[in-house]
Structure 1
Amino acid sequence: MQIVSVKTPIDDFSMLKELTEIEQLIEKAKKKGEQVIYLDTLSYQNHMYLIKQNYVIKKFIKKTTLFSFLRRPKKYYAIRFPMEHVS
């Protein structure tokens, strides 16, 4: 499975902004009791950072319909949170 198709570097400000948005989505999902969030964009640097933090990231393609005869594939990333050990 291909991790991320585009490895274009982004600047540090954009990377930190994207990472804070992801962290906010994760906190909201944890409050709701969810285990996974779905994103339609994820930079390569943040992808590798989340893997180092023990997040599980899976890329999948879902076909979306604009009209009944036109279907277009769209790429999504499912980010599963690391399991927290309860002592």
Structure 2
Amino acid sequence: GIMDLPQIKEYHPRLAEIRDVARLHFCIPSVEAQIIEAHLVSAGSALVMADAFMQGEIKNAFAIIRPPGHHAMTVSHGNRGF
């Protein structure tokens, strides 16, 4: 399978902190009330990938991350999703 290829490496997520999510969603009141653990795992996965890239451990990356959250909705807080 694809995981047998030497150039493919799997990284395990870490939990992001609520402040990591709130930093990007500063216009949403009480972010803490809307976040569940799945959101923190999803955001943490992106952070692990970004850290590996910034440290030069990887040259490129692709992440399949769930849940899509409010970006999958038609309209969220006045902004369009996809």
TM-score after normalising by structure 1 = 0.31
The structure with the largest strand share of the pair is: 1
The structure with the largest helix share of the pair is: 2
